[in-house]
């Protein structure tokens, strides 16, 4: 009987050792790190703007002559993209939205805006001429290390200074 107890105790010990061996964590695979992962960026680290958006203009306004709406692209924006739509109406309220309501839209940088304000001829980054309903999709240049300021300028088309109502919705994706 003592012999059977020793035999049973030995079996239990073997069973417990086997169970303990089965619950060991297997070694985790080693992660391969590329040499480029060790390279730190030069200068201060700034948060990425990738995947974000900014509302530039969400407004209905009266247009007599011109109206300018500035906006800024943050530093380090690699692929800023302006998109939106505008519709203009002739007369008071929301009158006709036809050729009689045509306006121009200009997208200007700071230098072009200074020329525009001084009535000097200048090019625009993007322009829509004589339109009363237009969708806009435009890739802006990357902003590099500094924020860049731009201007959306709406103006009466063809020298017509009559009042217009403009409904505009623009945003920039980064």
Q: Looking at per-residue confidence, does 61 or 25 come out higher?
A: 61
Pair of tokens at residue 61 = 């306004």
CA distances from 57 to 13, 33, 126, 151, 156 (A): 76, 44, 17, 11, 18
Q: Which CATH class is domain 53-173?
A: mainly beta
**Domain limits, the chain:** 53-173
Provide mean pLDDT across the span 88-93.
82
pLDDT of residue 43: 44
Buried b (16+ CB within 10 A) or exposed e, 49-70: beeeebebbeeeeebeeebeee
Pair of tokens at residue 51 = 């995947």
104 burial via Cβ count (<10 Å: 0-12, 13-18, 19+): middle
pLDDT confidence tier of residue 159, bands split at 50, 70 and 90: low
Given a cut of 90, whether residue 58 has pLDDT beyond it is yes
pLDDT of residue 161: 64
Given a cut of 70, whether residue 143 has pLDDT beyond it is yes
Provide mean pLDDT across the span 84-94.
87
Write the pLDDT tens digit of every residue in 93-119.
777 788 889 999 999 999 999 999 998
Kindly report the average pLDDT of the chain as a whole number. Answer: 81
Provide mean pLDDT across the span 8-31.
57
């Amino acid at each position: 009987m003592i012999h059977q107890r020793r035999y049973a105790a030995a079996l239990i010990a073997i069973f417990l050792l086997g169970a303990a061996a089965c619950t060991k964590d297997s070694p985790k695979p080693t992660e391969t790190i590329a040499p480029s992962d060790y390279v730190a960026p030069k200068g201060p680290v700034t948060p990425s703007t990738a995947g974000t958006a900014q509302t530039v203009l969400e407004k209905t306004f009266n247009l007599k002559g011109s109206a300018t709406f500035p906006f800024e692209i943050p530093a380090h924006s690699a692929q800023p993209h302006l998109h939106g739509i505008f519709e203009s109406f002739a007369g008071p309220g929301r009158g006709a939205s036809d050729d009689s309501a045509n306006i121009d839209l200009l997208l200007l940088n700071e230098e072009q805006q200074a020329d525009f304000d001084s009535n000097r001829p200048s090019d625009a980054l993007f322009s829509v001429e004589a339109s009363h309903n237009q969708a806009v999709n435009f890739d802006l240049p990357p902003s590099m290390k500094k924020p860049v300021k731009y201007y959306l300028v709406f103006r009466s088309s063809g020298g017509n200074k009559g009042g217009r109502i403009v409904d505009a919705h623009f945003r920039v994706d980064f």
